[in-house]
Amino acid sequence: MKTLKVDPRAKALIFDLDGTIADTMPVHFHAYNKVVAEYGINFTPELFKRYAGIPAGQTIQILNDKFGANMDHEEVGQVKELEYEKLMHQIKPVKPVVDLIKKYNGVLPMSVGTGGHHRLAWKTLEILGLDKYFDILVAMEDVTHYKPHPETFLRCAEKMNVDPQYCQVFEDGALGLQAARSAGMIPVDVTEYYTVTIGI
């Protein structure tokens, strides 16, 4: 297993949550699959990867447009999140990322920038015993524009009081990596450091 490294330019670290700190992707996939199957939608791993990092309600709206469905995006998005919460006990840590978090705890400022809900994000960190390492978490409720817009990561930088160019972002999703680049930050694709599974 390769070891993640901090860039010499970095003065602060920003971590995506799902698929980066926590191997939640199989759990999210099963939750989506169960909920949208009731509407006759075949939610494939390929679709899931394409929309990774987008809030649930927005993903449901995308699926409506793609499949000509008529799901209430807010209601079905909430049902998906409830289904996900039932399965959260299955979450496992992404070891190379967690090792880095523990190594740089108290050395560099760190924050979490996620497209998920505040409550579930903190619960994820608590399940993994990692909530004690973070004071700053920017979630979907904190921004107007979601990834690939850079707002999530720019808010993290602002809260850490570090210029964006000195922030290193650890991400697993294409949209998140795009957001990091748009923010002028140092992006790292963590999927090069562990095996991604959807759990099907």
- Does 197 map to a domain? no
Task: Count how many domains the chain has.
Answer: 2
CATH of the domain at 62: 1.10.150.240
- CATH code of residue 122: 3.40.50.1000
In the prediction, which pLDDT does 51 show? 85
Q: Do 96 and 186 reside in the same domain of the chain?
A: yes
| pLDDT value of position 127 | 97
Question: Same structural domain for residues 169 and 80?
Answer: no
As a whole number of Å, the CA-based R_g of the chain is 16
Annotated catalytic residue, options 7, 16, 135, 142 = 16
> Residue 171: in which H helix or E strand, if any?
strand 167-171
Tell me, what's the pLDDT at 121? 95
Asked whether residue 63 falls in the same domain as residue 107, the answer is no
Q: Is residue 137 within a helix (H) or strand (E), and if so which, with residue range? A: strand 136-138
If 0-12 CB within 10 Å is exposed, 13-18 middle and 19+ buried, where does residue 60 land? buried
146-191 confidence digits (pLDDT tens): 999 999 999 999 999 999 999 999 999 889 999 999 999 999 999 9
Do 136 and 173 belong together in one domain? yes
**97 lies in which domain range?**
12-23+91-192
Q: What is the dihedral of CA 120, 124, 125, 127, to 10 degrees?
A: 130
Catalytic: 18?
Answer: no
On whether both 164 and 80 belong to a single domain, the answer is: no
**Residues of the chain where predicted confidence (pLDDT) is lower than 50:** 200
- The whole-angstrom separation of Cα 116 and Cα 140 is 6
Domain-located, residue 143:
yes
Does 17 share its domain with 50?
A: no
pLDDT given for residue 196 in this prediction: 65
> Which pTM does this prediction carry?
0.86
* 146-166 per-residue burial string, b: 16 or more CB within 10 A, e: under 16: bbbbbbbbbbbbebbebebeb
What pLDDT is stored for residue 52 in this prediction?
Answer: 80
